[in-house]
Amino acid sequence: MNNFKQICFASVFILLCCLSAVAQRKTVSSPDGKITLNIDLSEAIKWSASYQGKEVISPSAISLVVNKEVLGKKPKLLSETKRKIDERINVDVPRKNKVEHNFCNELRLNFKNYAVSFRAYNEGVAYRFETGFKNGIEVNSEELNVNFNKDSQVFFPEEESMISHYERSYVDTALVSLSSSRFCSLPVLVTSAGVRVLITEADLFDYPNMFLSATGGNSLKSKFPPVVLEAEADPGKPDRNERIVKEAGYIAKISGSRTLPWRVFTMTPDDRVLAESDMVFKLSRPVAIDTKWIKPGKVAWDWWNANNIYGVDFAAGINTATYKYYIDFAAKYGLEYIILDEGWSKTTTDLTEPNPDLNLQELINYGKSKGVGVILWMLWKPLDENMDVLLDKFAQWGAKGIKVDFMQRADQYMVNYYERVAKECAKRHLLVDFHGAFKPAGLHRAYPNFMSNEGVKGAENNKWSKLVTPDHNLMLPFIRQVAGPVDYTPGAMNNANKISFREIFDNPMSMGTRCHQFAMYVVYESPLQMLADNPTHYYKEAESAEFISRIPAVWDETKVLDAKVGEYILVARKKASKWYVGAMTDWTARTMTLDCSFLPRGNYRIEIMQDGINAERNGNDYKKMVQKITNGTKLNLKLASGGGWAAIIEKAD
């Protein structure tokens, strides 16, 4: 009898242990069932993710240290809730689609004083912490150790400091080859078990940016800039660079009860899905302003071409006559804006008075008479010190927006600065373009007047380096652009191959062909899209200028038809009744196929810009063609080395 009791007790004990172990494991899957997110709540909160049964992200610990208390250590689950999210979001300034489908399954786990929410989309997974304290708190750190399968590869946007313009090249290497001293900004792209994992963040407000450090193994771990307590001007460039003098022992001071940023992991073996993904937008908070006044468009930009116009009867430079020339050019080609970059103000630190060599009010009025708005460049610090007065003045002058530059930091104060600029500009119906900036992380959904964002090694680097190659250009749609709008500033009219390219600051050129530049206007997403080259060049290349000027800056629908990270991409986008197609390749010449089955039935006229027969020798060479097609047509696209292909499709009469 005693033996029987012992056996029963042991059986019950084993059963309870098994039930307890099961209770510590939670699962949530994507609506299509391909992605499964597993959560273990034993000694710590650990999660892993698999794609079609294959583990892509191995068990990875997460925690949040608040007032020196570790949230996530030996977690005790109080309750959980599950829900299916299936909503259509109307997008005010659509970079990809006029309507986004927010479709996922969510699991929320509630603990004492905090919760963690996990979401599984068909295109990836995300999680975030939520705090529930009564009083304000200090966040000492947030831990993420994300572990991948062995032999994982990474496109690593390495940083030397968290004080940066975040304009990086992507180091394509084995993850395990990176030492623990190396770290990167976001987004970063890892390939694990044959699946692409794009890591970034969303709904970033009142909290620092996340960076990721290598570990010397197959993992990456989080890194954050501390709160800045004291900064001083850098003697080398005191008007625009800072040195951090004193930092706090915590990364943020926040309200005790709030959500933290989403940690976003786009997961797909299909590079087309990666380039189409808009998880950052879907995970960020809804629009916070009136948007009826916002007008996306294209911009004639002065700085890249150094105001180096010619064939005119006045001295080119930062003066009234030169900018009237830009306005006339913009009006001729239907561009909505011009930018007055550095030099329009009396000094870079005094934004209250224009440069005496130009009549700013006359220019703004002249632009208004021609239907062209004026956007003003400025350094972030002078604006920060006198924001209300300056923005009131810009609005009173009749400016349509501002371009804010040289922020370089990514700490909590600077994140709040971005929101403050966007919010205060919205009150005055001013657009915003951020340069010298970290990547987008959700602000563009809450404040759609935040139109575009640098944080990319773009065309301006052609002025002084050989780093912006077609290979580099073919990484951007799959990495940086997944986070949000990208102000690459395309439109170069002097196009060169590897041998011919030269760095010329005042008369720059691009690497790759003219059609490579054409295609950027379809492939790259920026609701404030630049025409970076000299208006004189555009006048001399009127056919090119006319074609570019007809490509929209926002879209109703996007389809990535063919793609491979770093090598090629073929994109079709719809605006109203027309379709626009762009194809780009790296330094490898290739033939691609455009299957027109995405078109509705009917007859269409397609206007094509394709690489000329001599484009590999002279990048300026292109050929224009017009023909009839239907949705049954398949076109062979021949792209030269560093080449491109672009087309406008409309219903035939």
Helices and strands, counts by H and E, the chain = 14, 40
Active-site residue, selected from the candidate residues 405, 471, 541, 616: 405
Provide the token pair at 489: 């500033």
> What is the full DSSP assignment across 63-76?
EEEETTEEETBS--
Half-sphere exposure (Cβ direction) of 228: Cα atoms closer than 13 Å = 19
Quickly tell me which residue has 């006359």 as its tokens: 362
**Do 523 and 516 meet the contact criterion of CB atoms below 8 Å apart?**
no
**Per-residue exposure over 292-304, b if at least 16 CB sit within 10 Å of its own CB, e if not:** eebbbbbbbbbbb
**Do 463 and 508 meet the contact criterion of CB atoms below 8 Å apart?**
yes
- How far is Cα 497 from Cα 25, in angstroms, rounded to an integer? 56
Active site residue 460: yes
Which helix (H) or strand (E) segment holds residue 328: the answer is helix 320-332
Residues 6+ apart with CB under 8 A from 524: 476, 477, 481, 486, 488, 490
**Per-residue exposure over 599-630, b if at least 16 CB sit within 10 Å of its own CB, e if not:** beeeebebebbbbbeebbeebbbbeeeeeebe
**Do 531 and 628 meet the contact criterion of CB atoms below 8 Å apart?**
no
Active-site residue, selected from the candidate residues 328, 460, 471, 487: 460
Provide the token pair at 322: 């030169």
Active site residue 556: no
DSSP three-state, residue 558: strand
Residues with active-site annotation: 405, 460
